[in-house]
Amino acid sequence: MQPASETAREALVAALVATGEGDRRAFRTFYDLTSAKLFGVCLRICGERQSAEDVLHEVYLTIWKRAGGYEPGRASPITWAATIARNRAIDWRRSQGSARFVPANDAIDLPDEAPLASETMIADEEERRLHLCLDALDGQQRTAIRTAFFDGVTYAELADRLAVPLGTMKSWVRRGLARLKDCLSGD
């Protein structure tokens, strides 16, 4: 998502709402505007191309069926759609057996972990706040929460990957999430 200009977002909302009314051209437009982001999500979490394509296929079928339920006042269309993609990809990966995850060659790299909020162009206030609050966490907490989000892993997998006992991992993350919650609800 580039610095989201209002008009780009409005175009996306219009395409999604029209998709909900059964408009195929709008569905195509929505696909063109969102599929690279959603494929990035599926590919990262599934770890290989063929499965990521299958999951993406299912994701857009879900979008086609559920677009009528999208409420423009709530999440942005891209967040709404990417959440569906992330959940589907996680379901797929977990159905393959929980210990399976190996970041495959196909998996894509994430941007490095530079402080997030200091970047110049974060237009959206909510987004800015989330990044500021994440930046305020301890490094370990931030890494664990970021990994959980971008890799779609459970506590057990997270503990495994970062080579930390499960109980310790849960404690870090829970304390991190509690701090994040305070920070997000504060002014």
As a 3-state breakdown, the chain gives helix, strand, coil percent values, each rounded to 5, of: 70, 0, 30
Tell the smallest beta-carbon distance from residue 102 to other proteins (Å): 18
Tell the smallest beta-carbon distance from residue 5 to other proteins (Å): 13
User: Rounded to an integer, what distance in angstroms lies between the CA atom of residue 79 and that of residue 85?
Assistant: 10
Q: Which is nearer to other proteins, 15 or 27 (CB)?
A: 27
Neighbours of 158 (CB within 10 A): 21
Q: Which is nearer to other proteins, 14 or 70 (CB)?
A: 70
User: Rounded to an integer, what distance in angstroms lies between the CA atom of residue 91 and that of residue 96?
Assistant: 9
Tell the smallest beta-carbon distance from residue 136 to other proteins (Å): 14
Tell the smallest beta-carbon distance from residue 28 to other proteins (Å): 7
Q: Which is nearer to other proteins, 75 or 104 (CB)?
A: 75
Q: Which is nearer to other proteins, 100 or 181 (CB)?
A: 181
